[in-house]
Amino acid sequence: MNKKSCLILSALLFFAFAYTSLAQIQGPSHYSKKEIMVPVRDGKKLFTRIYTPDSIPGPLPIIIMRSPYSDWNIGTFYPDKDPYVFNMAKEGYIFVYQNIRGKQKSEGDFIMEGAFDKDNWNAIDEASDCYDLIDWLLKNTNNNGKVGQLGISYPGELTLISAIKPHPALKAVSPQGTVGDFFLGDDFFHNGAFRLAFGFEYSFSEEAAKGDTSFPFKMYDLYDWYYDLGPISNVNKNFFHNEIPTWNDFIKHPNYDSYWSDKAPLRYSDTPRLPILHVGGYWDQENMNGPEALYAKMEKYDKKNFNYLVLGPWCHGQWGDSNASILHNYDMERNTADDFRAIQKTWFDYWLKGKGDGKFPEATCFQTGSNVWKQYATWPDKSVKPARIYLQDNKKLSFKKPIASDNAYDSYTSDPESPVGYRPRPIELTYSDSSEWETWLMEDQRFVDHRPDVLSYRSDTLDLDITITGDVLAHIFASITGSDIDWVIKLIDVYPVDYKKKQGLSQFELIIAADIFRGRFKNSFTKPEPITPGKVEEYSFGLHQVNHVFQKGHRIMIQIQSTWFPIFDRNPQKFVPNIFLATQKDFIKSTQHVYHSKQYPTSIELPVVKENGKVSLK
């Protein structure tokens, strides 16, 4: 079954397991399948599929994947036909797929992204359910006593939870494309700004019914639907009617309180208790922040050398596809999915089968621009020197600090009634056959770079390669006429005027790093404050990690804007205590002054790699 036909069968399969089980390898399976309702300690039974190789004798190690989604329930699904794990299946593992409680055919109540207490071993939670599953499998399959777990997105978070309170037989895990913090950088919010289209469609899809479902939009291009929605206070009034629990929680918890911190994997992740391989993508449109943040958090506590990282040039879960050589217009010049499969197999073969020498690089990270894999003894690479690229007069960029007078600024007016789109129209249903959602971070930014409410700054043509590896940070000095604002910052690679490799990409504007920050949270995500109109403030926030070469002949661009619609909601730009309760009268225009002066030097901090011990910048 190919990817498109699977997506037609279930609109939510893409999020469920990203690319992994959407493109089936053709031919008969060499695995036998059993469907079991496995009991857990409170008497509930969870729907479980067990796949055992027909001709590879046991005992064999077990690979577990747990999920709320329906994709593994497709009748034609077999692990040796799934590009995500087929190379592992070929050599023999027992594969176990389980739907978590309250989803699909599993009994119990589903609580989406519930809080997790890592210290309470008596709690009935996702860790205890997995623990009980492993207990049952050890007694009822021909196994070697060693278990691994992996998964992408929600299944990745379930993998992480299992590793926090692990069964003794759980020997290695790989959480992939995993949320780090729902409010600060993944899924539902980024730095306090609400992801409207995603939050609306996903909360409905998981909580309107026990199975996956889609909101019944009456139009194809949803830009106008979200625009006509008006303030998001209209969602419950006109559509959800207080019947979607997670949406109700958005309204109750508009700031970073214990509700969000209790849910955050970054809170409960600490000492790696067993080998753990984090996996993420630079252009992951859903959980870009999680893998790199979780790796960094756990690395602080890693005393046994259990903590490892893989980062690649992928959107959400693309590493699990049969072929990951192109993402939208970006050509990786190799099948990086094959590369990843080899890494993943080597990882689990060592820990579960004892094959190989176990000498894994600390971090294996694809370098975009040069299109090569790099291995690092530390991540981020220590051979970097932070260097700031500054906004200048005449919409220029330079690594030299500006010398202009203190009133040097550029201005634009942000109008919530005319928001900047996050990708060209049409805006399709997020999880649909025709949706461009998965590649929106790869869109050519020329579609907005001449809008009057988008500031675009360009460097001169580079006369040498500039390599950046690690964290990108924004430092924005600005004043506004309203009392709240969103800052959208994009770091962009501008291709040459005459790009010989592919003429159609001449002057292409490729996002390398980007994010949004809601101004009211400048001092605290817990206690938002109105911004003083006319006062110059500094807004500093991260744009996530990269590993990229800006090549000679290219240019560096920075874009600044205040709306990114409808992936993010429209900030009223007048401070209100709870944006989820704002009304139409609260929405106002705001004029922003973005400074580029000696006193107020707006810049992007880049982790520039030293060449021969030096950093050469002009």
| pLDDT tens digits for range 534-545 | 999 999 999 999
**Average confidence score pLDDT of the chain:** 93
- Which tens digits make up the pLDDT trace of 306-359? 999 999 999 999 999 999 999 999 999 999 999 999 999 999 999 999 999 999
Choose from 103-117, 424-438, 561-575 the range with maximum mean pLDDT. 561-575
Q: What's the mean pLDDT in 274-294? A: 96
DSSP 105: T
**pTM above the 0.75 mark?**
yes
Rounded Cα distance between 609 and 9, Å, is 47
Task: Determine the 3-state secondary structure of 138 from DSSP.
Answer: helix
The pLDDT of residue 166 is above 50: yes
Burial of 221 from C-beta contacts in 10 A (0-12 / 13-18 / 19+)? exposed
Nearest to 444 by CA among 386, 400, 508: 508
Q: What's the mean pLDDT in 125-136? A: 97
Q: What's the mean pLDDT in 376-404? A: 94
- Residue with the bigger pLDDT between 69 and 298: it is 298
Q: What's the mean pLDDT in 142-147? A: 98
Rounded Cα distance between 37 and 15, Å, is 25
DSSP 579: G
Query: Which pLDDT score, from 0 to 100, does residue 402 have?
Result: 95
All CATH 1.10.3020.10 domain ranges of the chain, comma separated, are 185-260
All CATH 2.60.120.260 domain ranges of the chain, comma separated, are 384-609
DSSP string spanning 289-318?
HHHHHHHHHHHTT-SSS-EEEEEES-STTG
Residue 616: band (very low, low, confident or very high) from pLDDT cuts 50, 70, 90: low
Residue 77: band (very low, low, confident or very high) from pLDDT cuts 50, 70, 90: confident
- CA trace torsion 303, 306, 311, 315 (10° rounding): -120
Residue pair 63/150 in contact (Cβ under 8 Å)? The answer is: yes
Query: Which pLDDT score, from 0 to 100, does residue 290 have?
Result: 96
Angle 253-256-259 from CA coordinates, rounded to 5°: 55
Superfamily of domain 3-180+270-376: Alpha/Beta hydrolase fold, catalytic domain (3.40.50.1820)
The pLDDT of residue 79 is above 50: yes
The pLDDT of residue 530 is above 70: yes
Burial of 248 from C-beta contacts in 10 A (0-12 / 13-18 / 19+)? middle
All CATH 3.40.50.1820 domain ranges of the chain, comma separated, are 3-180+270-376
Segments in 379-464 forming alpha helices (H): none
- Which tens digits make up the pLDDT trace of 462-521? 999 999 999 999 999 999 999 999 999 999 999 999 999 999 999 999 999 999 999 999
Q: Report the residue count for the chain.
A: 618
Count the alpha carbons within 13 Å of 496 in the hemisphere toward its beta carbon: 11
Query: Which pLDDT score, from 0 to 100, does residue 491 have?
Result: 98
Report the amino acid identity of residue 5.
S
Whole-angstrom CA distances from 205 to 13, 299, 408, 602 are 11, 35, 48, 41
CATH, domain 185-260, list 3.40.109.10, 1.10.260.40, 1.10.3020.10, 1.10.1060.10: 1.10.3020.10
Give φ, ψ of 560 to 5 degrees.
-130, 130
Report the amino acid identity of residue 612.
N
Tokens 């007069």 belong to 393
Q: To which H or E segment does residue 458 belong? A: strand 455-458
User: CB neighbours of 333 closer than 8 A, spacing ≥ 6?
Assistant: 325, 371
Rounded Cα distance between 85 and 271, Å, is 28
Rounded Cα distance between 234 and 211, Å, is 26
The pLDDT of residue 18 is above 50: no
The answer as to CATH 2.60.120.260 being correct for domain 384-609 is yes
Angle 80-83-87 from CA coordinates, rounded to 5°: 55
Residue pair 159/174 in contact (Cβ under 8 Å)? The answer is: yes
Query: Which pLDDT score, from 0 to 100, does residue 612 have?
Result: 54
Query: Which pLDDT score, from 0 to 100, does residue 75 have?
Result: 67
Count the alpha carbons within 13 Å of 598 in the hemisphere toward its beta carbon: 4
Residue pair 386/609 in contact (Cβ under 8 Å)? The answer is: no
The pLDDT of residue 17 is above 80: no
Please measure the distance between the N-terminal and C-terminal CA atoms of the chain and give it in whole angstroms: 53
The pLDDT of residue 10 is above 60: no
- Which tens digits make up the pLDDT trace of 577-613? 999 999 999 999 999 999 999 999 999 999 999 765 5
DSSP 65: E
Q: To which H or E segment does residue 94 belong? A: strand 94-99
The pLDDT of residue 15 is above 90: no
Query: Which pLDDT score, from 0 to 100, does residue 19 have?
Result: 38
The pLDDT of residue 13 is above 50: no
Query: Which pLDDT score, from 0 to 100, does residue 7 have?
Result: 33
Rounded Cα distance between 5 and 21, Å, is 12
Residue 6: band (very low, low, confident or very high) from pLDDT cuts 50, 70, 90: very low
Q: What's the mean pLDDT in 402-428? A: 94
Residue 404: band (very low, low, confident or very high) from pLDDT cuts 50, 70, 90: confident
Which residues partner with 173 through β-bridges?
149, 276
Give me 366's structure tokens. 């694809």
Burial of 614 from C-beta contacts in 10 A (0-12 / 13-18 / 19+)? exposed
Whole-angstrom CA distances from 27 to 24, 78, 82, 83 are 9, 11, 11, 13
Rounded Cα distance between 24 and 361, Å, is 31
Query: Which pLDDT score, from 0 to 100, does residue 431 have?
Result: 86
Q: What's the mean pLDDT in 422-449? A: 93
Residue pair 449/420 in contact (Cβ under 8 Å)? The answer is: no
Spell out a b/e string for 90-122, using b for 16 or more CB atoms within 10 Å of the CB, else e: eebbbbbbbbbbbbbebebebebbebbeeeeee
The pLDDT of residue 559 is above 90: yes
Residue 443: band (very low, low, confident or very high) from pLDDT cuts 50, 70, 90: very high
Count the alpha carbons within 13 Å of 436 in the hemisphere toward its beta carbon: 16
Whole-angstrom CA distances from 282 to 175, 288, 367, 368 are 16, 6, 10, 9
Give me 171's structure tokens. 């020997």
The pLDDT of residue 151 is above 70: yes
Helix 196-207 and helix 245-252, axial crossing angle in degrees, nearest 10: 140
Query: Which pLDDT score, from 0 to 100, does residue 614 have?
Result: 54
The pLDDT of residue 240 is above 80: yes
Task: Determine the 3-state secondary structure of 515 from DSSP.
Answer: strand
- Which tens digits make up the pLDDT trace of 82-96? 999 999 999 999 999
